[in-house]
Amino acid sequence: LYFSAQDGILLFYHIKDLQYEMKVCADISQPISSLIFSPDYTSLLLATDQGPVYSYKPAHSGEAVKLLDTCSSCFLAADFLTPGNKYCVSVTVSGEVQVWLLEDGTCLAKLNLDTEVHTT
């Protein structure tokens, strides 16, 4: 079980029977608004409500790597584009939808919805 609190720390809980063990995986020092696994469960996107999106690879147990950042508007949500793990799509609060190459964070396409976006 992966979990994050408002402090920006990604935690992993290994649960077996009635016992559990907690491990700190990454500290990005910003509140994490959502965690999204890739379709093959090899990568985890960590979206923050302050703008950046990070990638964490559980099998490598390394640090979270900043993939995307926005200057004009904060990301509201991000998710992998399937099939595969090469691309993700994001939407900003201002209504800009973007497609990103996850390998290096290159923005491949943008579409402005011309409306403010909210979650429910």
Q: Is residue 12 over pLDDT 70?
A: yes
Strand ranges for the chain from DSSP E:
2-4, 9-16, 19-27, 32-37, 44-48, 53-56, 65-68, 75-81, 87-92, 96-101, 106-112
Name the band, by pLDDT with cuts 50, 70 and 90, for residue 73.
low
Q: Which residue has the higher pLDDT, 39 or 105?
A: 39
For the chain, domain boundaries: 2-112
Q: Looking at residue 7, what is its pLDDT?
A: 83
Query: Sheet of 87-92: strands edge to edge?
Result: 75-81, 87-92, 96-101, 106-112
Q: Is residue 54 over pLDDT 80?
A: yes
Q: Give the whole-angstrom CA distance, residue 84 versus residue 102.
A: 11
Whether the CB-CB separation of 88 and 38 falls below 8 Å is answered with no
Other CB atoms closer than 10 Å to residue 74's CB: what's the count?
15
Whether the CB-CB separation of 15 and 35 falls below 8 Å is answered with no
Q: Looking at residue 70, what is its pLDDT?
A: 59
Return the CATH superfamily for domain 2-112. YVTN repeat-like/Quinoprotein amine dehydrogenase (2.130.10.10)
Claim: this prediction has a pTM higher than 0.85 = no
Q: What percent of the chain has pLDDT over 70?
A: 94
Tell me the CA end-to-end span of the chain in Å, nearest whole number: 24
